[in-house]
Amino acid sequence: VDEEIKEDGSSGVKPAPKKRLTFCVEGNISVGKSTFLERIANETLELQDLVEIVPEPVGKWQDVGPDHFNVLNAFYTEPQRYAYTFQNYVFVTRVMQEKESSGGIKPLRLMERSVFSDRMVFVRAVHEAKYMNEMEISIYDSWFDPVVSSLPGLVPDGFIYLRATPDTCHKRMLLRKRSEESKVTLDYLRDLHEKHESWLFPFESGNHGILSVPALVLDCEPNIDFSRDVEAKQQYARQVANF
């Protein structure tokens, strides 16, 4: 605690600066993370002035360098060849984005996904599918912990888990038609769903996970149209504000 001398000469206690909180929004492919961030956090009065939004850098993965390489597409087209390359680039773009957003002044930062879902969901999935071989996963793991430990901004204060069944996510994915995802199957979404659950609810699954950070679970199963359903939007915003 800092001591400060007031104008009248007496000393007072300067309150410690409030820590800025970071929550990461997690959930399966197509569950609605981007819509949630845009509609709930940007458009509801409860959160508007509180929150800075950091969307996921998908655009960067689709357009790399002067030759405009699409590394997301390369991964889905030749997963065995490009899973490591892609996951490595995902991590690097998250580090860049965290740095760019670290100077903000709003008290709450909401980020889309985290390096932890990268590792506990996607890297696990591609390793189990043998798209990443033993050497590649060993390389990934050899830098993951040291780099994360040296960048405390990557570790959130909480997770907001948007939860829906793989079937619902599959329907939403088919509707939005992101061309790279034409090869994503319902089975892959089921696998990613299981991995989210065992990561975020470690005690239920017997897997004790790598982090103990609080998680707010929001049910995204019903199809809520946030652009019209103002009441639902505010209810979700209230849950985030109270978290």
- Between 20 and 85, whose beta carbon lies closer to ligand TTP? 85
Output the CA torsion sign for 140, 145, 24, 158. positive
- Between 12 and 145, whose beta carbon lies closer to ligand TTP? 145
Task: Name the residues that contact ligand TTP, by CB under 6 A.
Answer: 27, 29-34, 56, 58, 72, 87, 90, 113, 118, 122, 181
- Between 34 and 198, whose beta carbon lies closer to ligand TTP? 34
Shortest Cβ distance from residue 34 to ligand TTP (Å)?
3
Instruction: Based on the residue annotation, tell me whether 181 is a catalytic residue of this protein.
Output: no
Catalytic residue among 112, 180, 194, 197: 112
Shortest Cβ distance from residue 30 to ligand TTP (Å)?
4
Shortest Cβ distance from residue 56 to ligand TTP (Å)?
5
Shortest Cβ distance from residue 202 to ligand TTP (Å)?
19
- Between 20 and 178, whose beta carbon lies closer to ligand TTP? 178
Q: Any idea which residues carry the catalytic annotation? A: 112
